[in-house]
Amino acid sequence: MIMRVARLMTVIALIYVGACSPTKELVQTPYQELYRPQYHFTPAINWTNDPNGLVYYEGEYHLFYQYNPFSSTWGHMSWGHAVSKDLLHWEHLPIALHEYLDPRTNDSTMVFSGTVVIDKNNTSGLCSGKECMVAIYTSHVHSRGHTVVQHQSLAYSNDKGRTWTRYDKNPILDMELKDFRDPKVFWYEPEQKWVMALVVPDQFVVRFYESKNLTSWTQTGEFGKKGDIRKIWECPDLYEVPVEGNPNQKKWVLSLSCSHPQGLSFVGMQYFVGSFDGQTFQPDESEVKTRYVDYGKDFYAGIVYNNFKTESGNPVMIGWANNWAYGASIPTEPWRSAMSIPRELSLRDTQDGMQLVQKPLLATGTLKGEVLSGNIEGNNLWLEVEIEAGKSEDSGIRILKGGIGETVIGYRNSKQAVYLDRTRSGFVSFHPDFASEESAVIEPVDGKIKLEILVDESIVEVFVNGGLRTISDQVFPSEADLRAEIFGEGVSVKGWKMKSAWVKDGN
């Protein structure tokens, strides 16, 4: 408890220091405040939402992110920036792209979500040397609280992303639409050209464009009005994914953000599996099934890295670990919102068709510390749980368990579903929609359900049966000295304490 009070005092001091200045983003906080994730990315202070411009370049993984330099709620959207050599330990850099005034109209322009590419052959003519980094983002022009237009703009960097210059002929793509955003751009090798996928959110449509130089774009196709169309679409991405056990077989996956499988008031992500011919995306299934990326409430706006695949050719995705429904109310200070653990993507050929499989990035395992046998205690854990299906109607593990609160992860045999119940997880009353139970239907394999559970203070990510289902949820435990305990018949657990990626010599 004393520890918690000390943490709180540090937090209060930092809020005071950081309150009035946008330049304080490089403020070093202790990264030990109450609820501060220890191996997930969080900005030092203030609000973040979508990951942006994920790209690997010259030994560095870049993470740009939607960022409010002034406060811990959404607004003044800019691109925050961090770099890492392993996707786990991050170094904060100054804001890459700030909100600005449109030079023609003087209207305020926020820098919404987008991409960074490496322009390897200086196709844009903007590189001072042979190559440079180019950012393509949505310029969100607004006046007196109203959106004027969303168009796409470009900025470039000749010093590995440390400083950025906005292109003087922006915008590069303007359809005079109020909702037209989140460009994902990548190099399409077969035709030696750039491809852009972006959404018309309220029409449930992804549009595809092509370009030889990143500055002039022509539409080539469109896909939409399929799958989950209950809420607007945002943040599309299109990438090739190898099939498990057959790495030479690859399929194109189109993923995007939409509503949540369990209710219209929440956001989530879905994906389609198919082919891309350089012009448009074609799903494999003639009757398209709605397939969700994650069944938790806290995985949104996920995109994959450009210019990087794992050794076995898998793309790596990072998502925003929060939900628009209650995101602005989560009880963390002086920052708000985290990124998910980076996930390696593959496809599994199942009886129910090709399905996305997600695994925590292999390197995350390097943060495994002490092996826990007997008592499993702590807030930063990696747990491997095996459940023999059918031994009990309800079996699993209670984590972050104190005298009163607990988060329950289990398998209900009659429903054939894994669930995460955070209704008693601690502090839940900060928003009426937060207390919830999430579940995902999944069949046992050889009579077993296998869970990999990453617990990091206020984020829990559950990977089921090698990543065929995931459930990612935030929780805010309100007690100290928390532990984990299995329940039901036929359950076994292996555990590790996770080391901190933020606190030197942290445990």
HEC-encoded secondary structure of 245-314: CEEEEEEEEEEEEEEECCEEEEEEEEEEEEEECCCCEEECCCCCCCCECCCCCCCEEEEECECCCCCCCC
In this structure, what DSSP letter does residue 409 have? E
Q: Which is nearer to ligand FRU, 306 or 465 (CB)?
A: 306
Task: Give CA–CA dist 441/289, Å, rounded.
Answer: 15
What is the per-residue burial (b if ≥16 Cβ within 10 Å, else e) of 201-211?
bebbbbbbbbb
Q: Which is nearer to ligand FRU, 99 or 244 (CB)?
A: 99
Task: Give CA–CA dist 405/425, Å, rounded.
Answer: 5
Q: Which of 50, 102, 456, 473 is catalytic?
A: 50
What is the rounded (10 degree) CA torsion for 106, 112, 117, 118?
Answer: 50
Q: Which is nearer to ligand FRU, 112 or 411 (CB)?
A: 112
In this structure, what DSSP letter does residue 87 have? S
User: Residue 25 in contact with residue 43, Cβ under 8 Å?
Assistant: yes
Q: Given the rule CB under 6 A, which residues bind ligand FRU?
A: 49-50, 66, 77, 112-113, 138, 181-182, 234-235, 301
DSSP code string of 376-394: EE-SEEEEEEEEETTSSSE
What is the rounded (10 degree) CA torsion for 182, 266, 66, 256?
Answer: -30
CB of 312 to ligand FRU, least distance (A): 30
Q: Which is nearer to ligand FRU, 39 or 41 (CB)?
A: 41
CB of 137 to ligand FRU, least distance (A): 8
CB of 116 to ligand FRU, least distance (A): 15
CB of 322 to ligand FRU, least distance (A): 9
What is the rounded (10 degree) CA torsion for 356, 202, 235, 244?
Answer: 10
Q: Which is nearer to ligand FRU, 50 or 457 (CB)?
A: 50
Q: 401-408: long-range contacts (C-beta < 8 A, 24 or more apart)?
A: 401/482, 401/483, 401/484, 401/485, 402/426, 402/477, 402/478, 402/479, 402/480, 402/481, 402/482, 403/479, 404/479, 405/477, 405/478, 405/479, 407/460, 407/473, 407/475, 407/477
User: Residue 220 in contact with residue 278, Cβ under 8 Å?
Assistant: yes
The residues pairing with 492 across neighbouring beta strands, listed in sequence order, are: 386
- Which residue bears the tokens 């009426």? 432
Q: Which is nearer to ligand FRU, 181 or 207 (CB)?
A: 181
Q: How far is CA 158 from the centre of its chain?
A: 27
Amino acid (1-letter code) at residue 385: V
416 phi-psi bin (left φ>0, alpha ψ -120 to 50, beta other)? left
Q: Which is nearer to ligand FRU, 134 or 235 (CB)?
A: 235
CB of 156 to ligand FRU, least distance (A): 20
CB of 114 to ligand FRU, least distance (A): 8
**Is residue 168 exposed (0-12), middle (13-18) or buried (19+ Cβ within 10 Å)?**
exposed
Q: Which is nearer to ligand FRU, 77 or 87 (CB)?
A: 77
CB of 474 to ligand FRU, least distance (A): 16
CB of 267 to ligand FRU, least distance (A): 8
Question: Is 421 considered catalytic here?
Answer: no
- How many beta carbons lie within 10 A of that of residue 444, not counting itself? 16
CB of 466 to ligand FRU, least distance (A): 29
Q: Which is nearer to ligand FRU, 187 or 324 (CB)?
A: 324
Task: Give CA–CA dist 2/209, Å, rounded.
Answer: 57
Candidates 352, 353, 198; CA nearest to 274 is 353
Catalytic positions, written as ranges: 50
